[in-house]
Structure 1
């Protein structure tokens, strides 16, 4: 096993063990003071910005890397990311009825959000595979057009979602006022302190523009809890506000942004849209379970009646008590008839292990010629062979330099999107070429070729090319004279 695969296996085992234990200890805990800092009763499952932040960083640097030879590597990472997301979430969508039957909603939520940690496989060269197991071969023009179409769709979907969120936020907060009812304010203060938030955080507002209680805001300083202009009993307010505090503490609005980002990344896959909708529904199911933890049958019935009476509009990255018609039946069934379901952290551990181990198995490839790879930027006549090395023969001289360069220029190669190590093979031809731009190194093995100018960074010269049909070693040897 190569060192890279060993590192990957260790990472997969560590991630599997971590997420196996996550579901057993990630539960509401009592509020305690420590060093003057807030200890929140509810905390997020993940740092939801990891994968979106990393992929957006790649997109930002892609224009800079394209002229310097790193475009295919970054393109490979993007392709592998949305391919993994699409396959994983599609599989999870198909298994969801079975998972919801036997597992608690918290387990399903963790399964939906696990791909957030794919960035670990993308951010280090130590986890590269030896070679891809599946290569999708497309013309270079088709890949170029596909990239532009994908980028346009990604920008439109994500931009529209963000715009809708900001427009909805502005509309509901424009005429919102602080809750003036003393009993409501007193209850909110009590619940907020019990959840571990200071009195300066999380303002409670009343707005004429909403018809259902909700919380909105992706960052701690922007979070607002908004109630409609209607009367609630103290018991109803207690359930509503506890529901929103669970959402806020766990960062469910940010989790919904992560699900939206994944949808935009794989906007061409209709299963992803359905999968992300189900993921948002599981966030609500798990929140219901947190609120009703320890409630008796009468408390559950009261919560079910509140669900039936609470209906309204929600948009953007908001969380609210109201349920859509499609999910209301399922939520009511879970509330009124809570069946025994299992945490089953091993399911999250196995999913994390599989995600890490299989990342990079598939990649894109497009045809290029040896002329483009070995003699870029100028005609072949301007390049001269400085030295040649051949495995088992040592240093060699070219008996016919022009014939050798003709053979190299005519090789049919496939450029792989992404980085792979391709372990050292039995034979290797090493050539140093001198040209107008300096010295260039060529390495040709049984089925892999590489070429880069000396002194470049690894991302500029790390691309490896598959040699279609292999290398004709007999012909190459006939053109060389050992020193």
Structure 2
């Protein structure tokens, strides 16, 4: 019955998340098409951008906030354990999801919109919250064990790689920004400036973005992490007004979708999985889908002549993309799919249903894969740090029995502790209680150190009765003999 209730909760929440993502995507997709085809920018409410529900920035911010809250409430040891557990969970999620998505990507690109394909790469942002909601309801089906010999070394090695990748990207961004802005000058041609402001109006930006020209680039791009520092930079070459219009629409679609935030999320994923080439390859494809999705909207409803002109523009301006930028045309290697999509458009569905369905599946599977470096018997993993322990009292609850015993004989106490100490366990999470709706529940109070050892049929926790109150959740790797326990206690 407990598993059924847990699954009902999981299914309902997964469906709600799938509907929320699908609804948000459909709303922004239809709005972008409306603006592209009619130039009508009327929107309900105060929303100006076309971000799908939440900015990807919220993921690293959430991790940082949770870590800081854990540090302030529980101290550095617990907060470090929490950070490593959440990070390894996220690494496992990204690796598995991006790997599956790369396999499906050729089919998806033929059947759903490029905007939907680009959004699929961001679904882990939403799925990550489900890992906290579902914790304790259904234990992981697969727990990957890190060898004990590497357990103390890997966290430091991982953190070094994480910091090195982030630092490298930051340095690369600021060097690239300095290079292209060093000799940049404001665009002086009045017709081009008027066209820029006209296109700027269509995306309802709160702050006008300066339009510059620089000899250091060969392809138009927008650079900058924040609205105040954002610049759109053109190469020093002449274009027709129609070509400028296409360039501006492409760059402003990136700004309206806050694709720089998405690029930051990609870099964050690279840093998390710096040791995994699969994730790096996947994120190159994700960046390509960002460009495909902007191409799709720039030529939405356009005729063959406009499409050919835009394709020629992509070929003519193929260049380099570095730092936190969105670029009209990246290297020639990534142009094949873009040119096919522009010159020979295929009829595709919006992808709303596919997006919602994949979101539901991801939520249903959330938390089923875990990584642990702590495993062994209850004696080795839970009790050894406390030295000698003694059972003070026992509480046992099953379908038929609800008893409490504090008058056990020394022999029974010893036999009970010996049996439980030999049970194999694997650590799952720090700071997580047992679910309270289990059919069988055993609680032991260990008087020597004021500890509570609690077991269900599949999980157990050890909780020190001090401040802070921090339980640690473990998976039982061997079934509990409930009949034997009942006979021993009674």
Q: State if a TM-score over 0.5 links the two structures.
A: yes
Match of 1:387 in 2: 393
Which of 294, 302, 314 matches 1:307?
A: 314
Which of 166, 169, 174 matches 1:158?
A: 166
Q: CA deviation at 1:130?
A: 2.5
SS of equivalent to 1:131:
coil
Q: Does residue 139 of the first structure (1) align with residue 152 of the second (2)?
A: no
Change (3 A) 1:203 1:412: same
Q: Measure, in 2, the Cα distance between the counterparts of 1:251 and 1:446.
A: 47
Q: CA deviation at 1:57?
A: 3.8
Match of 2:425 in 1: 414
Q: Does residue 78 of the first structure (1) align with residue 82 of the second (2)?
A: no
Q: Measure, in 1, the Cα distance between the counterparts of 2:163 and 2:142.
A: 28
Structure 2: stretches of 5+ with no match in the other structure = none
Which of 99, 102, 112 matches 1:103?
A: 112
Change (3 A) 1:205 1:262: same
Match of 2:452 in 1: 441
Which of 179, 187, 194 matches 1:186?
A: 194
Match of 1:7 in 2: 9
Deviations 1:454-479 (A, max 9, x none): 25556x1142342546458648855x
Change (3 A) 1:372 1:262: same
Change (3 A) 1:230 1:463: same
Please report the TM-score for the alignment, with normalisation by the length of structure 1. Answer: 0.87
Deviations 1:91-136 (A, max 9, x none): 1101111111122211111111111112321343x55432221122
SS of equivalent to 2:121:
helix
Q: Does residue 237 of the first structure (1) align with residue 244 of the second (2)?
A: yes
SS of equivalent to 1:397:
coil
Which deviates the most, 51-60 or 333-342?
51-60
Which of 24, 27, 42 matches 1:25?
A: 27
Match of 2:407 in 1: 397
Alignment of 1:118-267 (within 5 A): 118-124=127-133, 128-197=136-205, 201-267=208-274
Please report the TM-score for the alignment, with normalisation by the length of structure 2. Answer: 0.86
Matched-pair contact (CA < 8 Å) for 1:213–1:320? yes
Aligned length: 470
Structure 1: stretches of 5+ with no match in the other structure = none
Which deviates the most, 128-137 or 405-414?
405-414
Match of 2:301 in 1: 294
Which deviates the most, 343-352 or 390-399?
390-399
Change (3 A) 1:363 1:309: same
Deviations 1:331-374 (A, max 9, x none): 11211111111113111011100111111112234324434555
Match of 2:330 in 1: 323
Match of 1:332 in 2: 339
Match of 2:365 in 1: 358
